[in-house]
């Protein structure tokens, strides 16, 4: 599958009723992925769970891959919005406090529905490149870059390299925890915190 074949919705909901229908479809899809995995994940099952006709589902999504892509995008947007809110709320605090606030968001996102998070991670890697998803990832990357730039730390490498590495450390440990089915959020946070601070050169003030 190439980027030109990225599954997308047939149409965007513009009225409140349409938005409710799309939300019901995505909610149903998430519950099926979470509870049954890909085995039970069909457009017919999603429509039945959502309480809509299969025709109504196809008005918005051409296939289940498009539904999955919409789920992946919505999940990424929720995470970024949480990170931005935490960054705004901790403005002016020491770097360590800001890091703690951001990690709290990441861990809560991972642990809220771990089975669903694991399935979404798997599907995100499988699906084709999505420009909208890439834009959300770039916004998250920019947020991490800003945090490091304003940290006052003597970074071990250039700003761009450190941003890439910290981003990869956090996502990599989270993704691995998801694949392993981990449910201990405190342990996960402690390990990510240790990895990030060790990479940055110790415990900042």
Residue with tokens 């402690």: 190
> Tens of pLDDT along 14-23?
556 788 999 9
* Three-state DSSP state, 37: helix
Q: Which of 71-80, 95-104, 128-137 has the lowest mean pLDDT?
A: 128-137
> Tens of pLDDT along 2-57?
444 556 555 555 556 788 999 999 999 999 988 888 888 999 999 999 999 999 99
168: burial class by Cβ within 10 Å (0-12, 13-18, 19+)? Answer: exposed
Count of Cβ atoms closer than 10 Å to residue 190 Cβ: 13
CA 166 – CA 162 distance, rounded (Å): 6
Q: For the residues 65-90, what does the mean pLDDT come to? A: 94
113: closest CA among 123, 101, 121, 125? 121
73: burial class by Cβ within 10 Å (0-12, 13-18, 19+)? Answer: middle
> Tens of pLDDT along 86-132?
999 999 999 999 999 999 999 999 888 888 888 888 888 777 678 88
Q: Is the dihedral of CA 90, 91, 95, 99 positive or negative?
A: positive
Q: Which of 76-85, 118-127, 183-192 has the lowest mean pLDDT?
A: 118-127
178: closest CA among 133, 112, 128? 112
Burial 10-21 (b: 16+ CB within 10 A, else e): eeeeeeeeeeeb
Count of Cβ atoms closer than 10 Å to residue 142 Cβ: 11
Which domains can be identified in the chain, with CATH numbers? 12-62 (1.10.10.60), 65-200 (1.10.357.10)
């Amino acid at each position: 599958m190439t980027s030109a074949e990225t599954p997308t919705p047939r149409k965007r909901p513009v009225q409140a009723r349409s938005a409710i229908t799309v939300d019901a479809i995505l909610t149903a899809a998430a519950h099926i992925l979470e509870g049954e995995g890909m085995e039970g994940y069909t457009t017919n099952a999603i429509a039945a769970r959502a309480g809509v006709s299969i025709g109504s589902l196809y008005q918005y999504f051409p296939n289940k891959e498009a539904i999955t892509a919409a789920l992946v995008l919505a999940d990424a947007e929720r995470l970024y919005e949480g990170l931005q809110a935490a960054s705004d709320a901790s403005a002016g605090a020491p770097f360590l406090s800001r890091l703690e606030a951001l990690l709290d968001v990441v861990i809560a996102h991972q642990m809220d529905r771990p089975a669903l998070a694991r399935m979404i991670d798997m599907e995100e890697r499988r699906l084709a490149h999505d420009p909208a998803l890439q834009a959300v990832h770039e916004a998250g990357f920019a947020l991490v870059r800003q945090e490091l730039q304003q940290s006052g730390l003597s970074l071990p490498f250039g700003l761009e390299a450190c941003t890439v590495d910290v981003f990869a450390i956090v996502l990599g440990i989270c993704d691995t925890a998801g694949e392993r089915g981990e449910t201990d959020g405190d342990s996960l946070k402690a390990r990510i915190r240790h990895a990030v601070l060790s990479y940055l050169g110790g415990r900042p003030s």
